[in-house]
Chain A
Amino acid sequence: MNCFVPLDKSGTMAKKITSSLRTIGKILEWMVFGMLIILYLIVLSPNLPTKKYVSTYIVQTGSMEPTIHTGSIALIRQINADQIKKGDIIIFTSPKDPNQTILHRVFEVKQKDKNIEFEMKGDNNTAPDNWMIPAVSIKGICFSTIPFLGHPAAFLKTQKGFIILIGIPALFLIILQIKKIREGIDEEVQRRIHKQIKKEKTTDVITGIGILLLASLTGLLSIQAVRALFISKATASGITFSVKDFTPPTTTVFIQGDLDETKNIVGTGGWHGYGWYERYDNVNLRIQTGDPFTHTINYQLLSGDVACPVASDISYVTGLAHDTNIENVVNVRTNGIHTLCYFGTNPPAFSEAVAHKQLLKLDRENPAFVITGASGTYSDGVYYNNSPTVSATVSPADGFSGYTRGRFDLTYADAGHNCTTPVPSGVIPGYPGYNEDNLLPPHLSPTRTLTQTNIPDGNWCFRIWVYDDVQNKSGYQDVSFTVDTSIPTASLSVTGSWTKKVEENIDNGGFESGGTTDWKTAGNVTTIASDTIGTTPITPTGTAMARIGQTSGSSGNYAWENRLMQSIPAGAKSLSLFYNFLTRDYFLDDPGFFIRLNGKDIFHTSAWMADTLVDPFDSVYSTGWTQWYYDLSTITDPFINLSISAGNTGDQDVQSWVYIDQVTTYVVAAPSHAQYSFTGTDTGTGISKFYYNIDSAVDYTLYTTPFKIPIVNNQSQPLASSNN
């Protein structure tokens, strides 16, 4: 028997033994390391991100025996309180000591107000816990347990346990790792000797980077785990800040009002839209731009046309909704103008800067009027007109709207001038059954004249009334009138002792006896049968007339240089003549024509009467044939020297002149004892009155004839009749 063991065999055996020991050592090393990791996870599980799904707690008491034994590890996951039901085993913070965490079974689930509360009980306890657990105290539900594993975990919390279970294995592992590092260094030396350095550099770098990353990750995880112990964050997210559109709204007012339509004015000229109403149907305050549902309107109503207070004034009524109708507020106001002030607000306080102003005008009052006159001659309540066009003047008054219209209805009148029935449309041309002035407001003058044309002869009435722009209507007043367009004729008869003497004291007054015979002349005076100025013929009454002055050209005489003169014997009571004065120089010939008696200027006319002429030097102005009278009875001189002059005044250019004809004086002597009678005819309304005058000074009116001259005097013409 060979006692020697071959070296190679014994070396192989030793290697086998060494290899086996190394394998066992590695297994042991990994077991220790795995145990450390498990303990690490158990200890840190409540703090790891996975705690939502699973965390561990060590059961240290027997309150849940026999379901959960002392020393077990309870596996917990988070749960919403409303998912917990009776019988679940849950873990919660002790209401008595926030440092205590308790694992008990749900004995009862109770609803308190809107919150859930739980009554708990340990399985090994005889009675439920003497507290109610709110939802906020629930930490999670126990879904499984690991028996006995809690003992070593609990043992860990002791210094002895930590040294035995953590410290010694960790020291063992640290020694192994140091040993491994030392072996690695030795192997590295050998490798470098065998020139494998270059090839393995790359592998080493990669390995180094991997190890470094892994080490960093491990370190970070540890740091995070530790850091999680010191810092926690909660967030209030989903925060919203939303600024509203705080632009102030704009506002407007919608107005609809009523006229006094109950008056039923036929043919009214209509409402003119000047803002006056009898009442308002709508005074709607509206949001024009902005939000009609949230924006509001403020307003106030003031008497008179006044300025609106500033928008911030507390006098405003606030908070009106869009389209609010305030007609009830307006309609109780008195007649007159009221100021509506309004503005919009974007709550709470964004308002239009300046209040709007709207005048509201209420007029429920009827206008009044007076008749200030009518055409024709007034007598005993009747206006007598000799024209078919009749007018009446009214002066209305209205305290408010003021936009009055005058109006009349034409009615028939009986013989006593009593107004009867209205004249229908179509009877009188141009009369549609009523008549009113067509003045459009605003009427600057309240007085206006109502006129009706084409009225036939007869007795009539104007039934006049006025109404205002709101159609408030006055009462009516009648104007009675007569239209008589026919001209009466009259003649005078005298009975008794009377004489009629005509004393003509002017010789050759008609210039019919051969030129200026019996007249004295000076300057440019001549007699002619006719004349033509421009295209206008000028003819005398008879066959001749006198002309004083030069008709054209320049360098004519002054007026006082042209004279037609005659001396009139005493006894003449009146002087009459016809003249036709013409001028081309209305500008300077003032006077251009004058008459003097005994050197006294008793009549003159100037060129100024023609001041409407456009061109003072190219146009001719003519007075036409005009009769002129003068009372001579007051002149006591034995002779009356008549002098008639015409011509230039300011200068001698551009001429003025006059034609003279029918110069006469005569006297009618009528004794007072004689009886005079007028007779006449009239195709119209008949003769109602006769008129005469004496000495052209006083008019006398006679209603009946015969009559006597009321004064003893000479009586002069004309005697006339009239039908009024």
Chain B
Amino acid sequence: MNKIFAGILGLMLVVGVTSGTAYALFSSKATASGLTFATGNADLRIWDGDSWESDWNPSFNFSGLYPGFTNFQLFYLKNESTSPINLAVAGKIKPGVTENPTGSWDTLKGVISVAMNLSDDSAGTGWHTLNDWFTTGYDLPGGAIAQTAQGNYKFYVQVDPSATDTIASKSISDLVFEFTGTQQ
């Protein structure tokens, strides 16, 4: 019995390694004059003000909000894939947030809306509440980002003008927006 399983395992390992190597070798079309890199992969980065990173922390800070508040901050994404693939980007809030005081998320999730536009405001996601961004997520405008290309966006925030003072002095932090780039 051991031999049977060992054989099956060996078969799987050989097939896996072989097929993985084959894909890695032949899905990359990159060439270089001085060097050739072995393979490529999708790689979406965000500019943290100093360099292109996979995580920008801390990123957006919107303090002093009040009903009717509207403002935006710029952010930049870049397709640093090592092969020429285009990445369509979608944004979504990841679970987990720090509340001050407790319950602030429930208070604010339906009052604060976020929209992501291209930096020239030629296209955008439209306004969606934090709760929508958490439960659904939306595609960023402008189509897929080509390899090495950069997407410039505005991160708009708006507070419902009809919000009551129940939201006063509420704060949520450590919220994470995850941008997923998927090869087109």
Contact = CB atoms under 8 A, between A and B. Distances in A.
Interface of A: 33, 36-37, 39-40, 42-47, 56-61, 63, 74, 80-81, 91, 93-94, 97-104, 122, 135-136, 153-154, 156-157, 162, 166-167, 170, 173-174, 176-181, 183-185, 187-188, 191, 200, 203-204, 207-208, 210-211, 214-215, 218-219, 221-222, 225-226, 228-247, 346, 348-350
Given A174-B11, A188-B1, A219-B16, A100 B174 contact: no
A464 B102 CA distance: 76
B33 A135 contact: no
Nearest to A167: B18
Contact of B1 (A162, A207, A226): A207
A255 B138 CA distance: 58
Nearest to B75: A236
Contacts of B123: none
B45 A61 contact: no
A177 B39 contact: no
A102 B39 contact: no
- 4 closest residue pairs by CB, A with B: A184-B3, A238-B58, A98-B148, A181-B7
A39 B21 CA distance: 8
Nearest to B82: A46
A236 B20 contact: no
Given A80-B51, A229-B23, A233-B180, A240 B34 contact: no
Contact of B66 (A63, A170, A187, A244): A244
B106 interface: no
Given A40-B20, A99-B84, 13 more contacts: A43-B24, A100-B31, A122-B34, A162-B25, A174-B15, A231-B182, A232-B181, A235-B56, A236-B55, A241-B108, A241-B157, A243-B171, A246-B66
Interface in B53-84: 53-68, 75, 77-78, 81-84
Contact of B14 (A46, A153, A173): A173
Nearest to B163: A243
Contacts of B36: 57-58, 60, 101, 154, 157
B168 A246 contact: yes
A61 B34 CA distance: 5
Nearest to A183: B3
Interface of B: 1-27, 29-47, 50-68, 75, 77-78, 81-85, 87, 94, 108, 112, 130, 147-148, 155, 157, 159, 165, 167-183
B4 A188 contact: yes
Contact of B179 (A101, A183, A228, A233): A233
A229 B41 contact: yes
Contacts of B169: 243-245
B43 to A, nearest CB: 5
Contacts of B51: 80-81, 135-136
A40 B17 contact: yes
Contact of B172 (A40, A225, A241): A241
A47 B39 contact: yes
Contact of B5 (A136, A208, A246): A208
Given A58-B36, A215-B8, A40 B21 contact: yes
Contacts of A154: 36
Contact of B41 (A47, A93, A247): A47
29 contacts: A36-B14, A43-B25, A59-B35, A60-B35, A93-B148, A94-B32, A99-B84, A100-B34, A166-B22, A170-B18, A177-B8, A180-B7, A181-B3, A184-B4, A203-B1, A211-B9, A218-B16, A229-B27, A230-B85, A230-B183, A234-B46, A234-B54, A235-B56, A236-B57, A239-B176, A240-B175, A241-B130, A241-B175, A242-B171
A243 to B, nearest CB: 4
Contact of B68 (A162, A183, A225, A349): A349
Contacts of B182: 230-231
Contacts of A246: 66-67, 165, 168
Given A234-B181, A236-B179, A157 B159 contact: no
Contacts of A166: 18, 21-22
A214 B9 contact: yes
A596 B46 CA distance: 127
Nearest to B177: A236
Contacts, number: 334
Given A177-B14, A181-B3, A243-B159, A99 B171 contact: no
A46 B30 CA distance: 13
Pick from B5, B12, B53, B55 the residue with the most CB of A within 10 Å: B5
A54 to B, nearest CB: 13
B3 A99 contact: no
Contacts of B94: 235
Contacts of B2: 184, 203-204, 207
A43 B39 contact: yes
Contacts of B25: 43, 156-157, 162
A56 B24 CA distance: 14
Nearest to A186: B3
Given A91-B35, A170-B14, A242 B19 contact: no
B91 to A, nearest CB: 9
Contact of B65 (A59, A243, A349): A243
Contact of B34 (A104, A243, A346): A104
Contacts of B63: 240, 242, 244
Contacts of B83: 229
A47 B165 CA distance: 50
A239 B173 contact: yes
A42 B167 contact: no
Contact of B32 (A99, A178, A229, A346): A99
Contacts of B21: 36, 39-40, 43-44, 156, 166
A95 to B, nearest CB: 10
A46 B41 contact: yes
Contacts of B178: 233-235
Contacts of A60: 32, 34-36
A63 B8 CA distance: 46
B168 A234 contact: no
Contacts of B167: 243
Contacts of A185: 4
Given A58-B35, A91-B35, A238-B173, A101 B30 contact: yes
A348 B148 CA distance: 42
A211 B5 CA distance: 6
Contacts of B183: 229-231
Nearest to A57: B37
B55 to A, nearest CB: 5
B20 A230 contact: no
Residue among A59, A178, A208, A215 facing the most chain B CB atoms (10 A cut-off):
A215
A679 B22 CA distance: 158
Given A200-B1, A230-B42, A239-B177, A44 B24 contact: yes
Given A46-B39, A240-B60, A244-B64, A211 B32 contact: no
B174 to A, nearest CB: 6
Contacts of A204: 1-2
Nearest to B171: A242
A236 B12 CA distance: 39
Nearest to A32: B14
A39 to B, nearest CB: 6
Contacts of A156: 21, 25
A246 B180 CA distance: 36
Contacts of A207: 1-2, 5
Contacts of B56: 234-238
B30 to A, nearest CB: 5
Contact of B33 (A61, A183, A346): A61
A166 to B, nearest CB: 6
Nearest to A236: B59
A177 B11 CA distance: 6
B87 A232 contact: yes
Contacts of B159: 243
A219 B16 CA distance: 7
A157 B4 CA distance: 34
A207 B15 CA distance: 21
B37 A58 contact: yes
